[in-house]
Amino acid sequence: MVERLLDSMISGPSAKRFYTLFALAFITACSSREVIVDGSFPTPLVDPVPVSLGVVFTPEFREHQLVDDATGRGEVSWSVSTGVAQVQFWSTLLPAFFQNVVFIESYDDLETYDVDAVFVPEIADVQYAIPLYTNVKVYEIWMRYRLRLVEPEQLKDNDNKTLSLDNMQPFAEWPLTAYGKTPTAFMQSDSDAVNLAAVMALRDAGAHFITSFGRVPGIMGWLENPEESQ
């Protein structure tokens, strides 16, 4: 029925062009975008906190990915991988903010390195907003973290000689939110806009971490006597 109606309205070369444009529009509406976040993260200029900190990046953190399957809504689906950029960002920020930083990957690392506490970041949520009905490529991304500081001994499974996060009881635990937005509408592509928004969100996370760290409950007492963390 629809095909006959279209044929009655458009014929010959015009019909061919119409069907081509219609098909392209349909494919675009149902297509997907994949972004592996990549950017630069300047080293912050701060006076280092005088503690030795271990850092654990879990597999979930290293491989974090936001997946939004929007085919049911007739919109573009997105896959935004932030894990590599997350590790790069925090690996730049933390060694500048603390006097000594050790990246812990195993039980042997905990046995070998003397650290005052271990920092375990977790990505609790990532959301994004896109311009659906305009050509203005301004995208927004929100990130929410769950950050924890724990005594090194709590991460040791001595029976199995493994690193375990199952029974840890942090002496400090706090949320951190970050926001990023493309600073200009004149981006080359939607993917570039999403990537830049994610990079800006990570930089915002760093600024919030630096300014709020000393005010987190449990942190101030630990900084005064890190060897007796609660």
- Tell me, letter by letter, the H, E, C secondary structure of the chain: CHHHHHHHHCCHHHHHHHHHHHHHHHHHHCCEEEEECCCCCCCCCCCCEEEEEEECCCHHHHCCEEEECCHHHCCCEEEEECHHHHHHHHHHHHHHHEEEEEECCCHHHHHHCCCCEEEEEEEEEEEEECCCCCCCCCCEEEEEEEEEEECHHHHEECCCCEECCCCCCCCEEEEEEEEEECCCCCCCCHHHHHHHHHHHHHHHHHHHHHHHHHHCCCHHHHHHCHHHCC
What does the pLDDT average to over 127-152?
86
Report domain extents, the chain: 1-30, 32-228
Out of 82-86, 150-154, 181-185, which region has the weakest mean confidence (pLDDT)?
Answer: 181-185
In this structure, of 128-137, 175-184, 214-223, the range with the lowest mean pLDDT score is 128-137
Specify whether the CB–CB gap between 163 and 155 falls below 8 A: yes
**Which pair of structure tokens corresponds to residue 59?**
């597999």
Backbone dihedral angles phi then psi of residue 85, each to the nearest 5 degrees: -65, -35
Domain 32-228 CATH assignment equals 3.30.70 = no
Determine the pLDDT at residue 24. Answer: 37
As a whole number, the mean pLDDT across the chain is 83
List the structure tokens of 96: 């500048």
pLDDT in tens, 102-136: 999 999 999 999 999 999 999 999 998 877 656 67
Chain segment 51-91, per-residue pLDDT in tens:
999 999 999 999 999 888 776 666 778 889 999 999 999 99
Whether pTM exceeds 0.75: yes
pLDDT at 20 over 50: no
